[in-house]
Amino acid sequence: MQHADAVPVFGDFIREVRPERILEIGTAHGGLTMAMRDHLNEAGLSASAVRSFDVADKVWYDTIRSYNIEIIVDNVFAPHFVELTKPELIQPFIQGEGTTVVLCDGGCKIREFNLIAPYLKVGDYIMAHDYVDTEENFRNNFVDKIWNWQEIKESDIQVTCDQHQLADYHKAAFNSVAWVCKKRLA
């Protein structure tokens, strides 16, 4: 469920940023979740926490949990993603000491990004999958070439980015694998 080059791009990112914790929305099959745990372990960050949320339990989640990954099966969003209904499961985790990385890869990436971004600390990162900055770029350069899904674009998150001083981070690398990565500057 990722571009073939996504795993090495994330590996470089984890080695550089060295996060204390990763919060993922949308565990699904758990491939990216496991890759993130592997990257943390390889970088000597086995104590870094990985917490992933999904709305439906899967039989393979117990196996994933055995790799020091916390999977919470609970919908933390109101219907239609109009608000975060369980901020107590999100905010304290993000607000912990050290760098947090948030991955938005659930059912509504736009609203996940926009609802969680206000909880970021300075120096934290928020990312979203199935991102291509503009519809024109998606049509001309991604469809049938790089990635065939665009669920989020820059105009969907621009207000939030402006309000919370979120700036592009390694834009070229992440855009090449259909992800956006923003760092909170202030």
Residue 151, domain extent: 6-184
Beta strands in the chain (DSSP E): 21-25, 49-54, 70-73, 100-104, 125-129, 166-168, 179-184
Give pLDDT, residue 130: 98
Domains: count for the chain: 1
pTM of the model: 0.97
**Is residue 1 one of the residues assigned to a domain?**
no
Query: Which pLDDT score is estimated for 15?
Result: 98
> What is the pLDDT averaged over residues 47-66?
97
Is there a domain that residue 77 lies in? yes
With respect to residue 60, please indicate whether it lies within any of the assigned structural domains: yes
Q: pLDDT per residue over 118-171, tens digit each?
A: 999 999 999 999 999 999 999 999 999 999 999 999 999 999 999 999 999 999
Residue 102: pLDDT band with limits 50, 70, 90: very high
User: In CATH, what number is assigned to the domain containing residue 28?
Assistant: 3.40.50.150
Given this model, what pLDDT does residue 155 score? 98
**How many C-beta neighbours within 10 Å does residue 165 have?**
13
Report the C-alpha gap between 47 and 86 in whole angstroms.
25
- The answer as to whether 79 is a domain residue is yes
Give the pLDDT score at 135. 98
What does the pLDDT look like over 3-49, one tens digit per residue?
999 999 999 999 999 999 999 999 999 999 999 999 999 999 999 99
Q: Is the pLDDT of residue 1 over 90?
A: no
CA geometry: angle at 78 spanning 156 and 183, to 5°? 40
Sorted by sequence, the CB contacts under 8 Å of residue 167 that are 6+ apart come out as: 161, 182, 183, 185
Residue 124 lies in a domain: yes
